[in-house]
């Protein structure tokens, strides 16, 4: 049920401490971050969640989500605190009958109130979707960051204005990150301060799959044969035909598919006695499911939606101690293709053969040590720390540019006034010679400003 929420009451004063996982009040040392995302905070744990949780250690973080229609005649913000993560998710509610212009104006007003009430100084604006730049682009910011985690224009149902809005965001951004090297290669000429940050991993979290010795989750318990699994959003990026053929080729294998269904009709999903669609699972549950798998799968379709992806699950699967079989995703090949524990295959027979080889590796051996050596160099903690350093540099550079612009404006004003004041000075000097109308103050002021304009 929609509830009227008063923004000043909901949004904490910027001087209040943020409550983090430890339960202790921590006063943020950095500027407030307003993160604009096309993903809900509590949907699936992906790149935004990993990074913003870590930024919340030193910043107040507001996670500004896409709007939802409501029956109320006035717009408002739903306030969803996630104390364990240290962030506050904000869900705009807009009258469902509003047109696009009204929606944009309403969002602009809600954002302006948020900044006025809850930001001590200019915030950092952090974008995961360019579409929110339409209403947020005019906000005065300490820095503007675009973390391009996906090529959203290639996704199903992408807004036709997305490319145009991304270009506008690129022009305003002080700092741009990409979610992988393929995206970086595609966009590196569009900004002079752009940096690739491929998917990282919380190895400790997924390492639990290696040590798990308890009972299997109830809906996975009792499955026969070796188990091949996938977790993630089930959408147009999956090759459902490949999965259907694979299940048919290996009827004695069990295939477990975890995750919410998005942008596709559930009726499109292949069905069979060895195909198990178990629905969405929380981030905390994933290692328990992964522990029961023999091989982890990434059966992605090769299309525009997957052209630039850098799947987070690749290092997660490896951290869980499971060999991986994937279709030919560019960033998977680039980063992990040389590992014995990662196989790349295309058509169903080749994919099935690759699964056989992965199964023969087992859950220990040289392949795992090789994978661990690679994983030791990547982590979300390291990625966030590197991003934080670049953000600090961007904030300082933006302040310096603003100061220079203000000085240039002042110098320009002085230069524009100088000819007029020089004429005033000449007139005053003429009057000084004849006596009446003498104005030494004007003479001095003109002299000072004229001198100042030449420095």
Strands 295-298 and 194-196: unpaired
Q: Judge whether 152 and 129 are in contact, CB under 8 Å.
A: yes
Q: Judge whether 295 and 228 are in contact, CB under 8 Å.
A: yes
Burial class (CB in 10 A: 0-12, 13-18, 19+), 233: middle
Residue pLDDT, tens place only, 32-53: 999 999 999 999 999 999 999 9
CA distances to 99, 147, 419, 436, 448 from 440, in Å: 63, 60, 18, 12, 12
Going from N- to C-terminal start, the domains of the chain cover 7-196, 203-378, 383-453
Q: Judge whether 301 and 336 are in contact, CB under 8 Å.
A: no
Residue pLDDT, tens place only, 329-364: 999 999 999 999 999 998 999 999 999 999 999 988
Q: Is the pLDDT of residue 28 over 60?
A: yes
Question: Could you tell me the pLDDT band of residue 420, with boundaries at 50, 70 and 90?
Answer: low
Residue pLDDT, tens place only, 247-260: 999 999 999 999 99
For 71, which DSSP code?
A: S
CATH homologous superfamily of 203-378 equals Glycogen Phosphorylase B; (3.40.50.2000)
State the pLDDT at residue 12. Answer: 40
* CATH of segment(s) 7-196: 3.40.50.11010
Of 29, 9, 5, residue with least CA distance to 17:
29
Length of the chain: 455
Q: Where do we find the tokens 């199964």?
A: 359
């Amino acid at each position: 049920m929609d509830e009227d929420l008063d923004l000043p009451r909901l949004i904490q004063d910027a001087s209040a401490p943020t409550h983090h996982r430890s339960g202790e009040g921590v006063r943020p040392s950095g500027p407030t971050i307003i993160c604009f995302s096309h993903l809900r905070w509590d949907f699936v744990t992906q790149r935004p969640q990993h990074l913003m949780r870590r930024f919340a250690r030193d910043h107040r973080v507001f996670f500004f989500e896409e709007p939802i229609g409501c029956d109320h005649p006035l717009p408002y913000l739903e306030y969803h605190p996630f104390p364990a993560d240290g962030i506050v998710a904000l869900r705009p509610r807009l009258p469902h009958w509003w047109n696009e212009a009204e929606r944009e104006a309403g969002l602009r007003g809600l954002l302006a109130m948020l900044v006025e009430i809850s930001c001590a100084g200019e915030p950092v604006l952090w974008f995961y979707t360019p579409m929110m730049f339409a209403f947020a682009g005019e906000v005065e910011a300490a820095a503007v960051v675009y973390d391009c985690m996906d090529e959203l224009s290639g996704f199903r149902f992408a807004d036709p204005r997305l490319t145009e809005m991304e270009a506008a965001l690129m022009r305003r951004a002080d700092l741009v990150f990409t979610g992988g090297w393929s995206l970086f290669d595609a966009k590196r000429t569009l900004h002079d301060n752009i940096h690739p940050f491929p998917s990282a991993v919380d190895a400790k979290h997924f390492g639990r799959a290696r040590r798990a010795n308890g009972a299997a989750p109830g809906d996975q318990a009792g499955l026969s044969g070796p188990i091949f699994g996938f977790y993630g959003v089930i959408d147009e990026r999956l090759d459902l035909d490949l999965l259907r053929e694979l299940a048919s080729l290996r009827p004695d294998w069990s295939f477990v598919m975890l995750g919410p269904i998005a942008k596709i009709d559930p009726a499109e999903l292949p069905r069979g006695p060895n195909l198990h669609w178990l629905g969405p699972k929380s981030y905390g549950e994933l290692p328990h499911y992964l522990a029961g798998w023999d091989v982890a799968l990434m059966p992605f379709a090769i299309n525009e939606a997957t052209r630039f992806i850098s799947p987070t699950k690749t290092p997660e699967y490896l951290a869980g101690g499971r060999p991986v079989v994937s279709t030919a995703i560019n960033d998977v090949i680039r980063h992990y293709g040389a590992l014995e524990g990662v196989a790349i295959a295309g058509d169903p027979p080749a994919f099935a053969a690759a699964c056989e080889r992965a199964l023969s590796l087992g859950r220990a051996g040289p392949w795992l040590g090789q994978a661990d050596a690679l994983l030791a160099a990547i982590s979300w903690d390291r990625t966030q720390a590197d991003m934080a350093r670049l953000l600090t540099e961007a904030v300082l550079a933006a302040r310096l540019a603003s100061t220079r612009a203000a000085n240039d404006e002042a110098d320009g004003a002085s230069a524009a006034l100088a000819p007029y004041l020089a004429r005033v000075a000449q007139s005053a000097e003429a009057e000084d010679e004849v006596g009446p109308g003498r104005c030494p103050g004007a003479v001095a002021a003109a002299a000072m400003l004229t001198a100042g304009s030449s420095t």
